[in-house]
Amino acid sequence: MKNNNLFAALRAAFPKDLDAVAVETDTGLNYSWRDLERSTAMMANLLQSLDLPQGARVAVQVEKSVEALMLYLATLRAGYVFLPLNTAYQSAEIEYFIGNAEPSVVVCSRKNFGWVSKIAFKAGTQNVFTLDDDRTGSLLDRAAHCSDRHEVVQRNADDLAAILYTSGTTGRSKGAMLSHGNMLSNALVLKDYWAWQPGDVLIHALPIFHVHGLFVAIHGALINGSKMIWLAKFDPKLVVQKLPEATVFMGVPTLYVRLLAEPGLTREACRNMRLFVAGSAPLLIETFTEWQERTGHTILERYGMSETAMLTSNPYDGERRGGTVGFALPGVSLRVQDDAGQPVPTGEIGSIQVKGPNVFKGYWRMPEKTREEFTADGYFKTGDVGKIDERGYITIVGRSKDLIISGGYNVYPAEIEGYINDMPGVAESAVVGVPHPDFGEVGIAVVIAKPGAKLDGEQIIARLKAQLANFKIPKRCFIVGELPRNTMGKVQKNVLREQHKALFA
């Protein structure tokens, strides 16, 4: 029987020479393909020795490191479900994810072990390991005693491989369940569509707890047997320095904006580069054009979601049109519908819906929510609003979901408003996204005080910082007498966005 474990496909693409460099780090370490093979075997054996139930979740909140990458691969290899968590999440956020996902294994950094393990044990997790970005931690200590031989566990295409939490527009985050088949189909399509070649080298500069860095970038390189230049953190100077040794780079728009601020970004520096990919947030046409002028390269913009991995892409050969996200990828059906559920004419705006082998299996333990997000004929409602021009290029013009994308991270206003509304003296609040030169968009808060209460914007921000991941914190907080409302009494967020649109201009 064919093994549909995603790891089996990635493993099969390793080059013949297992001693060649697979990952080169910014601290001067070289990991060979054999290292990846052996270490993932050892970690997979460790996980399997824990006697975990079928479909057990392995929740991981650790700094970026090659060992963290190995842990992801080992989880696949052992047939368990990987649950990556943003390192910026604080205790309330982690408590929710662990409580909701009920992982059998939690891996965290040593400095967080005290509070993370408390949360994990309370939720019934029996195994909590540490892993730090200096190749230390109890996970590695334990794995060191395990065999480096391991047979990849048999998985079906529909078996779960990962759960990615994506915040809900109302209430709490939903776990998008992705299968081995979802991810492998997407990786294979992109390998072809972006014309990955022998000898390609990827600069990996993104975090590894979201689709872009974890799936698009890592699967892309591995399924092509390509070396990665692994940067623990995005550092524009270091990226520019490494460009001559690389052929492929992937980033959210903020990374391109920051790279353009580097005088060293020249045609000469990009002489060996083949492909620059952007996504996760809208790429401004100014950035697209300036990049072309500075480097001679045309950024390829693509569009995707946690629930679907990649959906559309500008072409590799053929015109890459700035401001568009290109065409639906092979195998993806994409349509634009009006509110009545009818297709809109070419060039007109409507809701984007998609279907394909990459579309997720539903939200973890939320069958109702899952049903709501699919149409009767099986299309997933992306919550993005867009149009398709006469040549078939798709443009995202907005979002029907109330979501701010800041530097490639999603911020859900409802979540932040909930925290602000719980503060003493607050009557109501509204969080909206406004344009920002570096992050593309950032959140700001507009707050009304209860009668007689005195509020201070700075204090509200300070309180939020103590509770939430840093990227979610509104960059400014205004105390006002009233919020603009429509005749139904609903807050007009578009009016607030308009009022504050020049705040960071």
Residue numbers at the binding site for ligand MCA (CB under 6 A)? 206-207, 210-213, 233-234, 252, 254, 279-280, 304-306, 406-409, 439, 442, 470-471
Distance in angstroms (rounded) separating the CA atoms of residues 265 and 281:
22
Which residues have CB under 8 Å from 79's CB, separation 6+?
A: 5, 153, 154, 155, 159
Where does this chain touch ligand AMP (CB under 6 A) — which range of 9-17, 38-46, 183-191, 299-307? 299-307
- Residue whose CB is less far from ligand MCA, 120 or 190: 190
Where does this chain touch ligand AMP (CB under 6 A) — which range of 143-151, 182-190, 286-294, 302-310? 302-310
Where does this chain touch ligand AMP (CB under 6 A) — which range of 56-64, 155-163, 300-308, 371-379? 300-308
Binding of ligand AMP by 173 (CB under 6 A): no
Adjacent-strand bridge partners of 361? none
Distances (CA, A) of 443 to 54, 171, 306, 417: 40, 18, 21, 11
Here the tokens at position 45 are: 């054996």
Binding of ligand AMP by 305 (CB under 6 A): yes
Binding of ligand AMP by 301 (CB under 6 A): yes
Here the tokens at position 56 are: 């057990």
Are 88 and 469 in contact by the 8 Å Cβ rule? The answer is yes
Q: Among residues 45, 112, 247, 306, which is the contact residue for ligand AMP, using CB under 6 A?
A: 306
What minimum distance in Å lies between the beta carbon of 206 and ligand AMP?
Answer: 12
Q: Among residues 38, 191, 399, 493, which is the contact residue for ligand AMP, using CB under 6 A?
A: 399
- Closest chain position to ligand AMP (CB): 306
Here the tokens at position 417 are: 């408003």
Here the tokens at position 222 are: 């591995």
What minimum distance in Å lies between the beta carbon of 35 and ligand MCA?
Answer: 25
The listed partner (ligand AMP, ligand MCA, none) that binds 301, CB under 5 to 8 Å by sort, is ligand AMP
Are 99 and 31 in contact by the 8 Å Cβ rule? The answer is no
Ranges within 406-435 binding ligand AMP (CB under 6 A):
410
Coil, strand or helix: which one is 52? coil
- Residue whose CB is less far from ligand MCA, 39 or 185: 185
The listed partner (ligand MCA, ligand AMP, none) that binds 150, CB under 5 to 8 Å by sort, is none
Coil, strand or helix: which one is 273? coil
Q: Assign residue 332 a region (left: φ > 0; alpha: ψ between -120 and 50; beta: otherwise).
A: beta
The listed partner (ligand MCA, ligand AMP, none) that binds 408, CB under 5 to 8 Å by sort, is ligand MCA
Where does this chain touch ligand AMP (CB under 6 A) — which range of 105-113, 279-287, 368-376, 493-501? 279-287
| First-to-final CA distance of the chain | 59
Q: Which helix (H) or strand (E) holds 25?
A: strand 21-25
Here the tokens at position 81 are: 């479900």
Where does this chain touch ligand AMP (CB under 6 A) — which range of 29-37, 57-65, 277-285, 360-368? 277-285
Are 146 and 46 in contact by the 8 Å Cβ rule? The answer is yes
Where does this chain touch ligand AMP (CB under 6 A) — which range of 227-235, 238-246, 276-284, 328-336? 276-284
Coil, strand or helix: which one is 311? strand
Q: Among residues 187, 189, 211, 329, which is the contact residue for ligand AMP, using CB under 6 A?
A: 211
Which residues have CB under 8 Å from 122's CB, separation 6+?
A: none
- Residue whose CB is less far from ligand MCA, 43 or 221: 221
3-state secondary structure labels for all residues of 190-220: HHHHCCCCCCCEEEECCCCCCHHHHHHHHHH
Distances (CA, A) of 233 to 134, 183, 207, 210: 14, 25, 7, 14
Site string for ligand AMP, 308-327 (x = CB under 6 A): -----------------x--
Binding of ligand AMP by 217 (CB under 6 A): no
Distance in angstroms (rounded) separating the CA atoms of residues 24 and 16:
18
What minimum distance in Å lies between the beta carbon of 376 and ligand AMP?
Answer: 22
Binding of ligand AMP by 279 (CB under 6 A): yes
Binding of ligand AMP by 280 (CB under 6 A): yes
Binding of ligand AMP by 479 (CB under 6 A): no
CA-closest candidate to residue 353, choices 369, 375, 368, 327: 375
What minimum distance in Å lies between the beta carbon of 378 and ligand AMP?
Answer: 19
Binding of ligand AMP by 254 (CB under 6 A): no
Detail the DSSP E strand segments found in 254-332: 275-278, 300-305, 309-313, 327-328
Detail the DSSP E strand segments found in 76-126: 81-84, 105-108
User: Phi then psi for 41, rounded to 5 degrees?
Assistant: -65, -45
- Residue whose CB is less far from ligand AMP, 33 or 249: 249
- Residue whose CB is less far from ligand MCA, 47 or 221: 221
DSSP 137: S
What minimum distance in Å lies between the beta carbon of 460 and ligand MCA?
Answer: 14
Can you give the binding site for ligand AMP, defined by CB under 6 A? 166, 211, 279-282, 301, 303-306, 325, 382, 384, 396, 399, 405, 410
